[in-house]
Structure 1
Amino acid sequence: MGQKIRKCKKCGKYTLKEKCPVCGEGSVPAFPARFSPRDPYGRFRRLAKRG
């Protein structure tokens, strides 16, 4: 069916493959995680992001 666009962790190029065709590094989904108002771990993620 349809594929989702992915982004290389190392060089930042966009691809549809699991590995980047430019540098060979693994790629991750380019879209953010789905938002849920009842997210039980949201507080902890926001605290970790603040640093």
Structure 2
Amino acid sequence: MGQKIYKCRNCGRYTLEAICSKCGSDTFRPQPARFSPQDPYGKYRRIARREGNL
């Protein structure tokens, strides 16, 4: 399967389309970003998580 799965921002429905067929809202890819040992923004992400911004 070469296609990626998307998730609707409004209704939470999973689809293979860029626009949700149920509510017409835009969709996004729900998988997390890839891990990299040379993570240039890891420090800032950890600070934001501690402060409750994420």
Q: Match for residue 3 of structure 2?
A: 3
Q: Which structure is larger by alpha-carbon Rg, 1 or 2?
A: 2
Gaps of 5+ in 2: none
Give me the whole-angstrom Cα distance separating, in 2, the residues matched to 1:32 and 1:41.
15
TM-score (norm 2): 0.80
Distance between the aligned counterparts of 1:8 and 1:35, measured in 2? 24
Cross-structure match for 1:27: 27
Fraction of identical pairs, as percent = 59
Distance 1:2 1:30 in 2: 16
Query: What is the deviation of 1:24?
Result: 0.6
Query: Residues 12-34 of structure 1, C-alpha deviation per residue, up to 9 Å, x if partnerless?
Result: 10000000111111000121111
Structure 1 vs Structure 2 CA RMSD: 1.4
Poorly superposed stretches of 4+, deviation over 6 Å: none
Give the TM-score normalised by structure 1.
0.84
